[in-house]
Amino acid sequence: METNGEPITAPPNEAFDTLLVLDFGSQYSHLITRRLRDLQIYSELLPCTANISELPWKPKGIILSGGPYSVYEKDAPHVNWAQLSSLGVPILGICYGLQEIAWHFDNSNVLAGEKREYGHARVKIEKHKGEAVHADKLFNGLGNEMDVYMSHGDKLSHIPQSFSVIADTPNAPLAAIVHNTKPIYGIQFHPEVTHTPKGTELLRNFAVDICEARQHWTMDEFVGKEIARIRALVGEKGQVIGAVSGGVDSTVAAKLMNEAIGPRFHAILVDNGLLRQDEAKTVHKTLTEDLGIRLTVVDASQRFLDELRGVTEPEKKRRIIGRNFIEVFQEEAKKIEEAAASSPQAGEIEWLLQGTLYPDVIESISFKGPSATIKTHHNVGGLPGIMHLKLIEPLRELFKEQVILHFRLRCRLYFICNVPSGGPINARHVILPNARTKLGIPERLVWRHPFPGPGLAIRVLGEVTESQLAIARHADVIFQEEIVAGGFYREISQSFAAVLPVKAVGVAGDKRIWAQVISLRAVQTTDFMTADFWYPPKEFIKKVSLRITNEVNGVSRVVFDLTSKPPGTIEME
C-alpha cells in the first residue's frame, strides 16, 4: 500500500525533500531547523560528527551550524569533508560553519579577530552577475544591504582559493563567501535568529532556489502519512498502550493513534502523586467523554513518592520517575492483554506510544558539537532494559509549535491577525472564538499550557514530600486562576508556581514565621527551545503574591522568576 506513490512506512526524511543541519554546538542550531520547517521544508539536526555515509537517505542540501569553538583549536570539532563532498549537494556554512569551510581549504584562513562582534551589524551585498551564475542566488531579492545578527570572535583572514566575497561589514570584510564553481556558501552572521529580519528569506533562497527542495512539508500531509505509517507498523491485530497526561502533546499523539487503530489503542494515565490539583479526574473526563479514547487511570502515587523519598538531585528524580513509568506500563499492559484475550481486540501488546517531540530529542542528546545535555526527558532514550515494548512516537519529528498550531488551525472558526510582513504564522497569531475543534479536541485543551512528564517533582526543588507538593499545588491553582481572570493565559506559553528549597522569615498575625518561598514563572515562546520571561503587570503580581501568602499555609514569600531561556531552562529542574 502506498500514499502519493511513496511507501507508507517511509520516515519523513525519505518521504519529503530534506535539508540536513550539522550541529557544531551553537545555541541557535535548532532554530535553523525550525526556520526551514516554517518554510514547509523538512529538515533534521544531526551532530557534526555524524557518519553521513551511513544515512539511508540523501539530503537536498547541508547547513553547517555555528558553534562555541575556534576551528584552529586542537579539540575543535570538524566535519568529514570526504563524506560531505561525496554527496555533491549544496553547502551553507553559518558563523563557525563558514570558518570550517575556509579552514578546510587552508587552515591559515581563520584567525582570532582583534575585535569581537556581537549583536547588530549591517552587511553590504556584493553582486557578481556575469561571473559565477550561482554566486548571487543566496542574497537574491534581499537588496544591497541587510541588517544581521553577529556573534563571533574569530574571522576569516584570507579568501579561500577558488572563492569570492559576496558580502562584507567594516569589521568582517569577508562576511560572506561563495565557491566560484560549486554551490558552497559561507556567511559570518546568523540568519536563523529573529534579529536578522530577512534571515528566513536567505534560508529560503538556499533551500529552494539553490538546493531545489520542494516546500511540501505540511502538517496535513504529515498527519495523513503518519496515520498510514502507524497502521502499517502495528498491523491488523497489534495492540498499543500509551502514556497520556492531558497535555497537548500526549493528547494529540493519542488522538492520532485512536484514529489509526481505534479500540486497539489503550491510553494509560499514571497518577504518580505528582500531578496538579484534580488533574487525574479532569484528564479522565476530557479523554473519555470528549475524545472517545479508552483510558485507564492507574493510581501509583504512593509507589512514586516512596521511591522519591530523600532524593534531591534533579536528574536522579527524572530517572526514578522514568523507570517507574515503564514498570507501571508493563504491569498494566499485561492486565490489558489478559482482559482482551477473548475479545475481538485480542492481540499481543507490542508497542508503547509516547508524545516525544523534537525539542525533547535535541535537549536529551549531548553531541560533540552541540550544547551539553540540558536535561533528560523521561520519554527520550535511556529507557531501562526491562522495557520489552517497542516505541512508537508519531510526533518525534515535530516542534511543539507545529503540534499546537496545527490543531489550533483546525478549528471550525478562527482568524489570523498581526502577522509580520513576510513572516511565518505562529500560534500567537491565531484567534479561536469557538470552543471545539473539528477533531473534537476542546479549545481549553488545545490552548493548555504544557505540563512536564516528571510533574511537580521538578517544581518542588529539593526533596519531594506530600507537604511540599500540597504547597506547590495550592500556589499554582491561585497563580493559574489569576492568569485566567486577568486575561493573560493565551499570551503566556507556560506558567507555574515552584517551591524553592529554602525558607525565609516573615510576619503573619503579628507573629514571626519561618516558612517556604514560592517562585512564580511565566514565559513566552514560539518553539520552547528559547523563551523570554513574561513581565507581569504590577497590580497582577501584587494580587497573586497577596493571595498566596494569605491562603497557602507554610509560605512566607513570593518571588518572580525573570530569567530567559537561555541561560535558564523553562522548568526549574
Helical packing angle, 219-234 and 248-261, nearest 10°? 60
Instruction: Give the residues across from 93 on adjacent strands.
Output: 64, 186
Residue 250 annotated as binding?
A: yes
Residue 251 annotated as binding?
A: yes
Query: Is 154:100 a contact under the CB 8 Å cutoff?
Result: no
- CA–CA separation, 448 vs 408, rounded Å? 11
- CA–CA separation, 53 vs 153, rounded Å? 32
Query: Is 321:454 a contact under the CB 8 Å cutoff?
Result: yes
Cα-Cα-Cα-Cα dihedral of 143, 144, 150, 154, to 10°? Answer: 140
Tell the residue number behind the cell numbers 512539508, with chain if given.
217
- CA–CA separation, 571 vs 573, rounded Å? 6
- CA–CA separation, 198 vs 23, rounded Å? 22
Instruction: Give the residues across from 64 on adjacent strands.
Output: 22, 93
Catalytically active residues, by annotation: 95, 190, 192
Residue 549 annotated as binding?
A: no
Residue 249 annotated as binding?
A: yes
Q: Which of 55, 1, 422 is nearest to 224 (CA)?
A: 1
- Reported as type and span, the H/E element at residue 221 is helix 219-234
Tell the residue number behind the cell numbers 526549574, with chain if given.
572
In Å, the largest CA–CA distance within the chain is 84
What does DSSP assign to residue 189?
S
Query: Is 401:426 a contact under the CB 8 Å cutoff?
Result: yes
CA distances from 406 to 330, 440, 494 (A): 32, 14, 18
Query: Is 354:338 a contact under the CB 8 Å cutoff?
Result: no
Residue 555 annotated as binding?
A: no
Which residue pairs, CB below 8 angstroms and at least 24 apart, start in 5-12? 6/225, 8/225, 8/228, 8/229, 8/231, 8/232, 9/229, 9/232, 9/233, 10/225, 10/229, 11/57, 12/42, 12/217, 12/222, 12/397
Instruction: Please list, residue by residue across 236-270, b when 16 or more beta carbons sit within 10 angstroms of its beta carbon and e when fewer do.
Output: eebbbbbbbbbbbbbbbbbbbbbebbeebbbbbbb
Tell the residue number behind the cell numbers 475543534, with chain if given.
437
Query: Is 238:348 a contact under the CB 8 Å cutoff?
Result: yes
What does DSSP assign to residue 53?
G
Amino acid identity at 102 = A
Q: Which of 175, 160, 187, 163 is nearest to 105 (CA)?
A: 160
Q: In sequence order, what are the residues at sequence separation of 6 or more whose Cβ sits closer than 8 angstroms to the Cβ of residue 436?
A: 411, 412, 442, 443
Query: Is 46:22 a contact under the CB 8 Å cutoff?
Result: yes
Binding residues for ATP: 245-251
Binding residues: 245-251
